């Protein structure tokens, strides 16, 4: 647990072997969020573009936006989902 560098290598390899892997893209986005990477919201947005109905991705996206200081965008996204 917490070995982010090894995890990143595995996710990068998985995306190389299977570029369209939704699971690898989602895991990579989660890793970016866990590491505090400023690009986590972008990683979640890309994953959501491939799998727009995935509620776990939606939740992660809102968390990443909040972590990036973009709470208003996170709330707007959540409100749009509720409609």
- What residues contact residue 78 under an 8 Å CB cut-off, 6+ apart? 62
Other Cβ atoms within 10 Å of 11 Cβ, number: 21
Question: In this predicted model, what pLDDT tens digit does every residue of 29-42 receive, in sequence order?
Answer: 999 999 999 899 99
Query: Across the chain, what does the average pLDDT equal?
Result: 90
The pair of structure tokens assigned to 18 is: 């299977």
Write down the pLDDT at residue 1: 62
The pLDDT value given to residue 62: 97
What average pLDDT does range 48-77 have in this prediction? Answer: 96
pLDDT in tens, 49-60: 999 999 999 999
Please give the model's pTM, rounded to 2 decimal places: 0.84
Q: Which residue has the higher pLDDT, 62 or 28?
A: 62
């Amino acid at each position: 647990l917490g070995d982010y560098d090894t995890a990143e290598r595995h996710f990068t390899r998985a995306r190389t072997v299977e570029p369209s892997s939704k699971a690898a893209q989602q895991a990579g986005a989660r890793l970016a969020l866990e590491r505090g990477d400023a690009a986590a919201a972008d990683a979640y947005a890309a994953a959501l573009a491939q799998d727009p109905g995935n509620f776990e991705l939606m939740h992660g996206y809102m968390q990443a936006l909040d972590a990036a200081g973009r709470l208003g965008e996170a709330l707007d996204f959540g409100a749009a989902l509720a409609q």
